[in-house]
Structure 1
Amino acid sequence: MSKAAIDQFTRCTALDLASNGVRCNAVNPGSINTDAHNPNGLMNDEALATYFEKLSTLIPLGRVGETDDVTNAIVFLVSDDSSFMTGATMSVDGGRCVTTI
């Protein structure tokens, strides 16, 4: 629900600010290998590896994302290479958003 709200906020803000030359885009990350998957350190390295292995089976590209995957998308969106983009939401989720599982 919160991602849907951010998506709509991005589109509305993009429309509001386009006439001022301001672009507004968003990145929707999927499962990314960060401490958020083990916030209290309750899983040992083996358990965490098993968790990521099982999680990877749900992702069409067959792996959990890395922080660089998200960073590269953000760098693209703030660069001149995306100068004609506004109101876009970029999924960085290995294809998970297009699955039905």
Structure 2
Amino acid sequence: EFGRLDILVNNAGVIRDNLLFKMSDEDWDTVMAVHLKGAFLCARAAQKHMVEQRWGRIVNLSSTSATGNRGQANYSTAKAGLQGFTRTLAIELGPFGVTANAVAPGFIETAMTEATAQRIGVGFEDFKKAAAEQIPVRRIGRPEDVANVIAFLASDDAGYVSGQVIYVDGGATRA
């Protein structure tokens, strides 16, 4: 309809948190299907157009949970997998003018983090306050913090940025 496909942002996600010994095969498979297979299918479809036009931007949404998180074996694995997938896309598609990067948000004020607070029986304001105390910049993230990084990575200005994982977490991730 528009004649071009310039930007793909893989942002689909679900959580099915549980400790490993309690996690069902279905919960594992659902998270892998949405995060990894979804990104694979979208990237495979988009790259055909991007390679042909010799320009494109792919941004995958990972998470700070990619480094491991209690009760999130499936989610952590999927988000780490997206980081490897991103680097592979950068290698394969770079010669055709297509960049691929990942954004790994930390604690961002969203419906998902609010649902987590409810699930563990903590008021959302208390949950946010406790999280902010653990973050070096002493606040939680906002959706626009993530959106601004994605907008940069999708722009012409990011033509020499590829294969990177950018953590948007107020300095909380310590590699």
- TM-score by length of structure 2 reads 0.51
Q: Tell me the CA shift for residue 18 of structure 1.
A: 0.8
Amino acid at match of 1:31: F
**Residue 59 in structure 1 maps to residue 119 in structure 2:** no
The structure whose RCO (Cα within 8 Å, separation 6+) is larger is 1
Change (3 A) 1:8 1:57: same
State how far apart, in whole Å, the 2-side matches of 1:41 and 1:50 are. Answer: 9
State how far apart, in whole Å, the 1-side matches of 2:124 and 2:134 are. Answer: 16
Match for 1:78 among 141, 148, 154? 154
Contact 2:106/2:167 (8 A) holds in 1: yes
Q: Which runs of 5+ in 2 are unaligned?
A: 1-76
* 2:103 partner SS: strand
Q: Which runs of 5+ in 1 are unaligned?
A: none
Same amino acid, percent of matched pairs: 35
Match for 2:106 among 5, 21, 30? 30
Match for 1:49 among 106, 121, 125? 125
| Larger fraction in strand | 2
Amino acid at match of 1:13: L
Instruction: Give CA-to-partner distance per residue, 1:10-31, whole Å, 9 cap, x none.
Output: 0011101011111101111111
Q: Tell me the CA shift for residue 42 of structure 1.
A: 4.0
Match for 1:20 among 76, 79, 96? 96
The two structures, once aligned, show a CA RMSD in angstroms of 2.0
State how far apart, in whole Å, the 2-side matches of 1:41 and 1:49 are. Answer: 9
**In the alignment, what sits opposite 2:53?**
none
* 2:98 partner SS: coil
* 2:81 partner SS: helix
Change (3 A) 1:60 1:20: same
Please list every run of at least 4 consecutive aligned residues from structure 1 whose deviation after the TM superposition is greater than 2 angstroms: 38-43
Change (3 A) 1:18 1:93: same
How many residues align structurally? Answer: 97
